[in-house]
Amino acid sequence: MEQQINITSRLRRTAQFIFDFGGGPSGRNAWVDYAKGIAIIFVVYRHVIFGLMYSGASINSMMMDANEMLYGFRMPLFFFLSGLFYAGSVKKRGGRNYLVSKVNTLLYPYLIWCVIQLTLQILFSDFTNAKHTFASYINILIHPRTMLQLWYLFALFNVSILYLATDRLLKLGPYGQILFGLILLALKPLAGDISTLSDVMMHYIYFCIGHLSAPFFFRESVQARLTSPGKLLLLLPVFLVVQYLCMIYADMNIFLYSTLAMFGGLIVIMLSFILAKTDRLKFLRTLGSYSLYIFLLHISIVFLIRAGFVSTGIISNTPLATFLLVTCGIFFSIVLYRICLLLHLRFLFVGPLKETNKIVSPS
């Protein structure tokens, strides 16, 4: 009887661990997870929309316009949020350990999941939208944009390490970093189809702005001013106009486009401050804290569920199919990641390199 109770208790704890979406880590920086949670929904929505379109579904103009209006600022926001924690991470870990941590959490899972995803796409090419051959493996390092959603991990790794080099080796100060980021942005067209380079040149400036503005955004007085529903409502029409302009003038000047993208990110940050203060929609914190693993896993999950929708005819109801695919893609990404942890498969997500003890210089 006691053994049966222990088994039941263990199963209950396991189920709670796998399916608990009540809220991620709380605290003074909970707004960052809220912002990531909102942004990852936009990311999955875009991938779902294009997956349905390539599967023959009819996407109405309103859904496509919403996708285009949300497109411009979601990825810059992720780079900006990563830049916010650069200084604190380097101070805590040291330069070498910062490099090791980025290899373990960005480069390693990027390589692992590129191989897994690309292999599955080749083996099941008759059922996938992306068509690849074994020659496509070289694109993992040269043209990561062909790796669908996984490009972000490689781009963030490259941006993080380049920023570390310019900060610690070249000793670039704030103005030097901004100038360097703007030069990279101006030279982006020269990168051509080599997205390993173009992604870094496009997103370095957002990481830089995140790092340099961290003292501002982590200041309690600033957070108090930004935690204003009234100000957010006043800026909302401006946000809609700005995103509409980004949609219809997709080929606008790259510096103007980048500026407008930062404005979109600011709106999400203000909303995140409000949600963190009121402790509302806590599931968004969970999504934010698992955003990296949602990036890794949702495409394959959405593909499998979409195939079922095609066979059952649900795909004909595009709004319903979109809602279900976004929800299931996010939900089952987190569930699958948690199951992998229970099965001791953490090596699929984190590399094996060990950080060394940071040597503290005597004062």
In the structure encoding, which two tokens stand for residue 3, read together? 């053994």
283/287 Cα distance (integer angstroms): 6
156/199 Cα distance (integer angstroms): 9
pLDDT value of residue 172: 95
Report domain extents, the chain. Answer: 27-348
Q: Please state the pTM of the whole predicted model.
A: 0.91
Query: Residue 363 above 60 pLDDT?
Result: no
360 pLDDT band (50/70/90 cuts)? very low
Q: Tens digit of pLDDT for each residue in 190-240? A: 998 899 999 999 999 999 999 999 999 999 889 889 999 999 999 999 998
User: Other CB atoms closer than 10 Å to residue 242's CB: what's the count?
Assistant: 20
The closest alpha carbon to 236, from 259, 268, 210, 261, belongs to 268
Percentage, residues of the chain above pLDDT 90: 61
Q: Tens digit of pLDDT for each residue in 3-55? A: 666 666 676 777 777 777 766 556 668 999 999 999 999 999 999 999 898 88
Q: CB-based contacts of 303: which residues, under 8 Å, 6+ apart?
A: 51, 128
Angle between helices 86-93 and 61-84 (to 10 degrees): 40
Q: Is 58 exposed, middle or buried (0-12, 13-18, 19+ CB in 10 A)?
A: exposed
